[in-house]
Amino acid sequence: MLNFVKKVIGDEQERRLKKYEKLVEAVNQLEPELEKLSDEELKQKTETFKERVEEGETVSDLRVEGFAVVREAAKRVLGQRHYDVQLMGGFTLLDNDIAEMATGEGKTLVASLPSYVKALEGKGVHVITVNEYLARRDREMIGQLHEFLGLEVGLNINGLSPVEKQAAYAADITYGVGAEFGFDYLRDNMVFAVHQRVRQRPYHYAIIDEIDSILIDEAKTPLIIAGKTSVRPNLYHICARLSKSFTEEKDYIYDREARSVTFTDTGITKVERAFGVDNLYDLEHQTLYHYVIQALRARVMFHRDVEYIIDDSEVKLVDMFTGRVMEGRTLSDGLHQAIEAKEGLEITEENKTQASVTIQNYFRLYPSISGMTGTAKTEKQEFQQLYGMAVIDIPSNKPRQREDLEDSIYFTVEQKYQAVGRKVRELYDRQQPVLVGTTSIIQSETIASYLDEKEIPYEILNAKSVDQEVKLISLAGQKGQVTIATNMAGRGTDIMLGEGAAELGGLYVLGTEKHESRRIDNQLRGRSGRQGDPGTTKFFISIEDDMMKRFAREELEQWQASLTADPDGLIHDKEAAQFIEKVQRMCEDANYAQREYTLKLDDVINEQRDVIYKLRNNIMEDRRPLPYALEMIRKASQSVTETYCPDFQLPEEWDLEGLNSRLNHLLPYERIDIRPEDAESAQDVHDMVSEACEKYIAFIETHASNLRLQQEAKQVLLMTIDIRWLGHLDDMARLKEGIGLRSYQQEDPLRIYLREGYEIFQKTFDMIQRDVAMNIQRPLRPMLHPEEKTNKA
Query: What residues form the annotated binding site for ATP?
Result: 86, 104-108, 494
- 3-state secondary structure at position 58: coil
Strand ranges, E, within 157-259: 173-177, 205-209, 223-229, 252-255
Q: How many CB atoms lie within 10 A of CB 8?
A: 7
Rounded to whole angstroms, the Cα distance separating 34 from 776 reads 66
Beta pairing class for 260-263 and 153-156: unpaired
* Dihedral (CA of 667, 668, 670, 672) sign: positive
Q: Which residues of 289-323 are buried (b: 16+ CB within 10 A; e: fewer)?
A: bbbbbbbbbbbbebeebebbbeeeeebbbbbbbbb
Q: Which residues contact 239 (CB under 8 A, 6 or more apart)?
A: 291, 292, 294, 295, 338, 341
Annotated binding residues, as ranges? Answer: 86, 104-108, 494
Q: Which residues contact 705 (CB under 8 A, 6 or more apart)?
A: none
Q: Which of 461, 521, 530 is nearest to 501 (CA)?
A: 530
SS (H, E, C) 283-301: HHHHHHHHHHHHHHHHHHH
> How many CA atoms lie within 13 Å of 554's alpha carbon, on the beta-carbon side?
2
Length of the chain: 793
Contact 482, 459 (CB under 8 A): yes
| Element spanning 35, H or E | helix 12-35
CA dihedral of 637, 638, 642, 645, whole degrees rounded to 10 = 70
The β-bridge partners of 176 are: 128, 156
Rounded to whole angstroms, the Cα distance separating 455 from 770 reads 73
Rounded to whole angstroms, the Cα distance separating 304 from 310 reads 7
The β-bridge partners of 98 are: 371, 391
| Element spanning 384, H or E | helix 380-387
The β-bridge partners of 206 are: 126, 369
Contact 184, 161 (CB under 8 A): no
What single-letter amino acid sits at 38?
S
| Element spanning 751, H or E | helix 749-775
Q: How many CB atoms lie within 10 A of CB 228?
A: 10
Rounded to whole angstroms, the Cα distance separating 122 from 350 reads 43
| Element spanning 343, H or E | none
Beta pairing class for 308-311 and 314-317: antiparallel
Rounded to whole angstroms, the Cα distance separating 726 from 384 reads 34
Rounded to whole angstroms, the Cα distance separating 435 from 458 reads 10
Longest dimension (CA), the chain: 103
Q: Which of 520, 187, 164 is nearest to 374 (CA)?
A: 520
Contact 768, 619 (CB under 8 A): no
Rounded to whole angstroms, the Cα distance separating 278 from 275 reads 9
